Structure 1
Amino acid sequence: MERWRRIIAEATKISGIGNPPLLHTPLKVLDLRDESLPSLRLLGALTDDAKPLGSVNIKQQEDVVFAVGPEGDWTEGEMAYFARLKFLPVSLGPNILRANTAAIAGLSYIILCTEGV
């Protein structure tokens, strides 16, 4: 957690963004609760039904949750749980990214879209 806090702090300084993303303690998927999540819930997923992240209207959102899975993607049970919580499967493009790269790429796009909200 401390390593990620330092990365966020440095990236925030370098990029000049005013509101850095919040880092929460990692949770097991089954520990997620509907009432604690914002209305826009994005799930980085390697599925055929995943929409391109760029096609999602993020601009009007103040809070967004973006879940990125482990190397090899989510299990069927995790995918079913995310579906029950109304997460929207999104794609970051045709290439499969490492989990940490996918998190950075997705959050970077979300931050750019929500600046000024």
Structure 2
Amino acid sequence: MITLLVTPAELASGEVEVRGEAYKHLFRARRLAAGAELRLVDGAGGARRGRVEAVGPRSARVVAGKPAPTLDPPHRVVLLVAPPRPSRASWLVEKATELGVAAIHWLAAERTPRELGGGGLERLERVAAAALEQSGGASLPRLSGPHDLGEVDALVADCDRRLLLAPGAAEADGGDWSGSGATALAVGPEGGWTDDELARLAAAGFVARGLGDRVLRIETAAVTASALAIFRASR
């Protein structure tokens, strides 16, 4: 079933006026007609069934009905990532959103640019919105940063497990992913953390863990670890 991202106010009101690019995609490219059913989500965990009531030349009216499954994972994962190149950051956000990652906080590190580049958070928020509709989730990940390492403890205050992904560290096992509390995963940068940064992350409760013998790119490690945390902890 098609998922349409709307605002929380629109979902609460029970009626959505679809215009612009969303209208072109749904009612021109996808050729939805009056009577078609879809899911309405608000990006904040709300989901309702929707029905197309009327289709005009430039807009369509959708009425919200009963609550729908959110499809959000029960286990909360928070990513702390030193920004890769803009195209790779987009890929990371897309896949993390599809998986249901709760938040992606970009970290400023000594060996990585302090700016996101390529349109920054606004561009990445658009990527996340499209990925949410594609995957059918109901909650957008919170995107923020870049943050200094001094802010890390506050960013992961509700995370019981805090793993620092590092090549050469002891490989993560089942015990690292089990439990009901939220998981924080720190990843990057491409040049590696400095000794001072590693010490500061350790002081914030992060335990170094590896993902096998190969050296993974930032985005690969982030998505792989997120999938492990979400699916293993949810069992």
TM over 0.5: yes
1:74 partnered with 2:202? no
Deviation at 1:14, TM superposition (A): 4.4
Instruction: Work out the percentage of aligned pairs sharing the same amino acid.
Output: 32
Deviation at 1:84, TM superposition (A): 0.9
> Based on CA coordinates, which of the two structures has the bigger radius of gyration?
2
State the TM-score, normalized to the length of structure 1: 0.73
Contact 1:45–1:91 under 8 Å retained in 2: yes
Contact 1:46–1:91 under 8 Å retained in 2: yes
State the TM-score, normalized to the length of structure 2: 0.41
Deviation at 1:68, TM superposition (A): 0.4
Contact 1:53–1:92 under 8 Å retained in 2: no
Secondary structure in structure 2 of the residue aligned to 1:101: helix
Bigger share in strand? 2
Deviation at 1:3, TM superposition (A): 3.6
1:4 partnered with 2:119? no
1:42 partnered with 2:173? no
Partner of 2:216: 97
Letter in 1 for 2:194: T
Bigger share in helix? 1
Deviation at 1:81, TM superposition (A): 0.6
Contact 2:177–2:233 under 8 Å retained in 1: no
Q: Cα deviations across residues 26-80 of structure 1 (Å, max 9, x unaligned)?
A: 31223323585222111111243x332544133422x221110110221100111
Deviates more, 1:107-116 or 1:8-17: 8-17
Letter in 1 for 2:160: S
Q: Cα deviations across residues 58-112 of structure 1 (Å, max 9, x unaligned)?
A: 3422x22111011022110011111111101111221111112211211122222
Distance 1:108 1:66 in 2: 11
Partner of 1:84: 203
Secondary structure in structure 2 of the residue aligned to 1:51: coil
Within the candidate set 25, 33, 42, 2:153 is matched to 33
Distance 2:185 2:198 in 1: 14
Higher relative contact order (CA 8 A, sep 6+): 1
**Change in 2 beyond 3 A, CA 1:4/1:54:** farther
Distance 2:124 2:155 in 1: 26
Unaligned runs of 5+ in 2: 1-120
**Change in 2 beyond 3 A, CA 1:109/1:54:** same
**Change in 2 beyond 3 A, CA 1:115/1:28:** same
1:110 partnered with 2:229? yes
